[in-house]
Amino acid sequence: MGEDTRREAVSEREQISFLQDRLEKIAADLEKSQMAEYVELLNRPLTLIWRNLMVGIARGIGSVIGLAFFATAILYILQALGQLNLPIIGDYIADIVRIVQIQLDGKQY
């Protein structure tokens, strides 16, 4: 019986050690996930609204700037294709470039 009790004690120590290691890993994972900061943010709705507002403004400005660069690049490509004097496509591209340039100047076509 003495040996069985010793094995059970060793087994219990191993289980406790395993559980302690597991608990430390869970605590480290929670710290990495910044759960406390998230809960604190949820408890302060004005801060949450302010941050979301700033993120929305930044995304909107980024979208406008990206669209401007994309449209400019497309316009230059269409101008280059229009100068190649391609038989059928060249006339359509020239019309598109002319309309876009008129719109950029603020005139009616």
pLDDT tens figures, 20-67: 999 999 888 878 888 778 888 889 999 999 999 999 999 999 999 999
For the chain, domain boundaries: 1-43, 45-108
Query: In the chain, what percentage of residues exceed pLDDT 70?
Result: 94
Q: What does pTM read for this prediction? A: 0.49
List helix spans (H) across 1-109. Answer: 2-32, 35-42, 45-83, 89-105
The Cα 28–Cα 22 span in angstroms is: 10
pLDDT at residue 94, as a whole number? 77
Q: Are 65 and 73 in contact (CB under 8 A)?
A: no
Q: What is the average pLDDT value for the chain, to the nearest integer? A: 84
